Amino acid sequence: MAVRSETCTTTVRLPRPVYEQAKCVVDKEKGGSGPVVSMNDLIVLAITAYLKMYKRRQIDAMFAHMAEDADYQKEASLLAEEFAQSDWEALQIGEDALEVELADAANSSR
What domain range is 53 assigned to? Answer: 14-68
| CA angle, 71 then 75 then 93, to 5° | 155
Same domain, 32 and 58: yes
58 within domain boundaries: yes
pLDDT at 31: 77
Q: Which of 17, 8, 15, 41 is nearest to 27 (CA)?
A: 41
Same domain, 40 and 58: yes
pLDDT at 65: 86
pLDDT at 63: 87
Looking at residue 31, the DSSP 8-state letter turns out to be T
Same domain, 76 and 98: yes
8 within domain boundaries: no
pLDDT at 35: 79
Number of domains forming the structure of the chain: 2
Distance CA 103, CA 98 (A): 9
pLDDT at 30: 84
Cβ contact 26:32 at 8 Å: no
3 within domain boundaries: no
7 within domain boundaries: no
pLDDT at 42: 93
Same domain, 76 and 64: no
Same domain, 34 and 52: yes
pLDDT at 1: 46
Could you write out the DSSP letters of every residue in 20-54? Answer: HHHHHHHHHHTTSSSS--SHHHHHHHHHHHHHHHH
Same domain, 50 and 75: no
Distance CA 98, CA 89 (A): 14
pLDDT at 60: 93
pLDDT at 10: 94
41 within domain boundaries: yes
Cβ contact 42:26 at 8 Å: yes
4 within domain boundaries: no
Same domain, 59 and 23: yes
What does pLDDT average to in each consecutive run of 10 residues of the chain (110 residues)? 77 96 91 82 95 96 88 91 92 91 79
